Amino acid sequence: MSIALDRGLSVLEHLVRHPQGLPLTLLASELDIPHSACHRLLGELQRRGYVRQARKQGDYVLTTKMVSLGLGFLSSAGIVDIAEPLLERLAQSSGELVRLSIVDEDRLTWVAKSQGMRQTGLRYDPDMGMDARLSCTASGHAWLMTLTDERALELVSRQGFGTPAEYGPKAPTTIKALLGFLHAARVRGYAMIDEVFAPGMAAMAAPVFRRKEAIGVISIAGPRARLGNARMHEIAPSLLAAAAELGPVSNASSLFGRPPLGKG
């Protein structure tokens, strides 16, 4: 990869994590890019419509162009049309937030969601388009449970463990703790977490299979006051049924990719 392209992508990825924007000097410092080179990159990204300055000589922020590209891609790939009815049905029956994430090589990315129609109480609604933290999300555990322990630990080590300070007070921070979650999920057939990803929140997730390979994950998340262990066990059959229904029709979307040669 060329230096300019690598730096440009680094700038975009860094600004994603700072929606309020960052000044040129801080961007250059945090990314270890020479000030003049960073200024040229931002000028080009601004010319192409990917970034803007909040005010003259002000912080640089992302525009909605990347969002537009992402949504256009999802629409063209057909995933919304395929998954939307399943997600909406599960959201209505559970009353909680239902999300779909897809496996993209070594990443698991949330791409679609449906919120249960609760009129009162807490609502849990994180942003789409983010990669799931594999060590401390129900979605991450649901994917990792389909892999060998060695492969699961390789992926988590590459991404890094979540810590209780960053996520929930019960987030696993050791290999032994993580494997405990994964082994329990394999026995149940789906993942369950309670105050692991965020304080006061619970979630469950099941993998979507195509020809015995996990290609995505469907999850349900909400406040633990509503989504306790008993409630999660109660709605587990509906979650598993939705995942089983999505697998066979996933071929209609290019977003799920094609099965490897030799797997049909």
- Per domain, the residue ranges of the chain are 3-63, 75-256
**Is residue 257 within a helix (H) or strand (E), and if so which, with residue range?**
none
Q: How far apart are CA 246 and CA 216, in angstroms?
A: 9
Helix 79-94, helix 229-249: angle, nearest 10: 160
Give the pLDDT confidence of 180-201 residue by residue, as tens digits: 999 999 999 999 999 999 999 9
Cβ of 123: how many Cβ atoms within 10 Å? 12
Give the pLDDT confidence of 203-231 residue by residue, as tens digits: 999 999 988 899 999 999 999 999 999 99
Q: For residue 109, which of 129, 135, 125, 93 has the smallest C-alpha distance?
A: 129
pLDDT at 110 over 70: yes
Q: What is the pTM of this model?
A: 0.72
Q: Do domains 3-63 and 75-256 have the same CATH topology?
A: no
Cβ of 226: how many Cβ atoms within 10 Å? 16
Q: Where are the beta strands (DSSP E) in the chain?
A: 51-53, 60-62, 97-104, 107-115, 191-194, 201-210, 213-223
- The CATH fold assigned to 3-63 is Arc Repressor Mutant, subunit A (1.10.10)
pLDDT attached to residue 207: 97
pLDDT at 108 over 70: yes
Statement: 75-256 belongs to CATH 3.30.450.40: yes
- Helix then strand then coil, % of the chain, to nearest 5: 45, 20, 35
DSSP per residue over 58-89, as a string? Answer: --EEE-SHHHHHHHHHHHHHTHHHHHHHHHHH
pLDDT at 261 over 50: no
